[in-house]
Structure 1
Amino acid sequence: MKISRRKLLAIATAGAALPRVAAANPATEITWDDLIPPGVPYSEIIGEGVMDEVNDIWLPVFDGNATKLNPALDGAYIKMPGFIIPIEQTAAGVTSFILVPYVGACIHTPPPPPNQLVFVNAFTPWPSDNLWDAVWVTGRMQHEVQMTEVAQTGYVLEAEFMEIYVW
């Protein structure tokens, strides 16, 4: 089948006129509830705990539901809000951190369960003077249960883009 020059030019022009944004794969906006696998109620991921009298801190004890992760998020390109608990910092800003659902999680209170904590590696350091602000983090999410000096996390997010969360 032969295509005329005129038809080929028309097709090429139409293709060039399409917005480039339509070709991009936008991030799926998620909430903290989305980190819990379907069918597991939030009330079943919160554990009991014990008081460490020597260090005067509460040590949560989680059951198996606390480390259950949502299979749909492994490899997903997502955007989610949260607060920053710095792990690694340079003069340019925070390069890795734990994204938490509320201010003070892991520091002033017992840490949330692992499936409510996201370890973030930032491609671009986040400025240290914005640590108390809520942020949007966009990037590729992976399942990876790991222990940090602050808490056990269930997910790892490679942050391609970050911005202040506007209420």
Structure 2
Amino acid sequence: MKANHCLLIGFFLFLSGCDTETATNAEQASEAATLPADAPALGTKIQQLTGSGAKTTSQTGEYPQIAWEDLELPGHGLEDIVKKYQPQIDAIPEGDPAEEAVMDKMQAELNTAPVNPAMNGKKIKLPGFVAPLEIDESNGMVGDFLLVPYFGACIHLPPPPLSQTLLVKPKTGKSIGMERVYEPVWVSGTIKTESTKTDLADAGYKIVDAAIEMYQEPNDETQ
């Protein structure tokens, strides 16, 4: 049905990173007002910046670039879960309370989606946003943080699933200043499939001694 199809699309957008259109309620608008004027909109996905003129690097070298989808276990990614439940949604009459039950199942399955064991021990380079866990007050630098695929995750918006959340421990003196915490970054290092509970969210991966680079330098005019 048309209505059910629209419901599915809306659910897809929400699960794929709280797209910009979903970050419009009063609470989120209030939190957004505290961010710098040039900060991304809450819910902006890192994929939206790819190819938009931001500085990128080669996929070759010691740390090959990967995509966030590579962290999902094949068959258990967002698109796989939506396809699995789509026939059920299509079969539910419009307005039936069963719709909500199916959505809850989809949400629960996404939240518990397993990590991809094939990624363990690989050297990778991945772009994303920073959700700080620690701050070095002596120099205003970010310490440990969660790398997430959309802006505001774990702080202003719900956290991603385990398979889309990385605990990052930067190399000593190689992190970023808190004044730039709203900017996307590149994280390079050896990834481990190791689950960790933090005060913000649970992470399914960890990178220790990570190298951090800004994804887009201020005033960069590179096409």
Report the TM-score, using the length of structure 2 for normalisation: 0.54
Match of 2:123 in 1: 77
> Which residue number corresponds to residue 192 of structure 2?
142
Query: 1:96 pairs with 136, 144, 147, which one?
Result: 144
Which of the two has greater strand per residue?
1
* More moved, 34-43 vs 87-96: 34-43
User: 2:158 aligns to what SS in structure 1?
Assistant: coil
How big is the alpha-carbon RMSD for the aligned residues of Structure 1 and Structure 2? 2.6
**What whole-Å deviation, never above 9, does each CA across 1:67-124 have from its counterpart, x for those lacking one?**
4111221111100000001001102311100001011111122111111100000112
Q: Which runs of 4+ in 1 moved over 2 A?
A: 61-67
For structure 2, the residue ranges without an aligned partner over 5 or more in a row are 1-60, 83-101, 217-222
What secondary structure is seen at the aligned counterpart in 2 of 1:150? coil
Q: How big is each residue's C-alpha offset from its partner over 1:34-67, in whole Å with a ceiling of 9 and x where there is no partner?
A: 110122231429x966xxxxxxxxxxx6338734
Cα distance in 1 between the residues matched to 2:77 and 2:125: 23
Q: Distance in 1 between matches of 2:163 and 2:178?
A: 26
Task: Find the aligned partners of 1:133 and 1:85 in 2 and give their Cα distance.
Answer: 11
Structure (1 or 2) with the greater helix fraction: 2
Residue 155 of structure 1 is aligned with which of 188, 192, 205?
205
TM-score, scaled relative to structure 1: 0.70
The SS at the match of 2:179 is: helix
Identity of aligned residues (%): 35
Count of aligned residue pairs for this structure pair: 133
Change (3 A) 1:158 1:115: same
Give the structure with higher Rg (CA).
1
Residues 77 and 140 in structure 1, CA contact (< 8 A), matched pair in contact too:
yes
